[in-house]
């Protein structure tokens, strides 16, 4: 699943943001506020 997600997301979000999404979703129970995903899913200038 991580590999599929990386393949689909990295061309759009870049490697750094993509890894940020994957890490946080895989440890979703540790996320205090879903808004912490915002900087990894958004992209400036588009």
How many residues bind to another protein according to rule CB under 8 A? 32
**Residue 16 found at the interface with another protein (CB under 8 A):** no
Opening angle at CA 13, ends 6 and 41, nearest 5? 100
The values of phi and psi at residue 25, to 5°, are -70, -35
How many beta carbons lie within 10 A of that of residue 31, not counting itself? 12
Let me know how many helices (H) and strands (E) the chain has, helices first.
3, 0
**Residue 15 found at the interface with another protein (CB under 8 A):** no
Closer to another protein by CB, 16 or 28: give it.
Answer: 28
Beta carbon of residue 15, minimum distance to another protein (angstroms, whole number): 13
Residues lying near another protein in the complex (CB under 8 A) are found at: 1-2, 4-5, 7-9, 11-13, 21-22, 24-35, 37-38, 41-46
């Amino acid at each position: 699943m991580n590999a599929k997600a990386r393949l689909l997301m990295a061309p759009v979000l870049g490697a750094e943001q993509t890894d940020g999404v994957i890490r946080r979703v895989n440890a979703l129970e540790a996320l205090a506020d879903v808004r912490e995903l915002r900087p990894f899913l958004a992209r400036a200038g588009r």
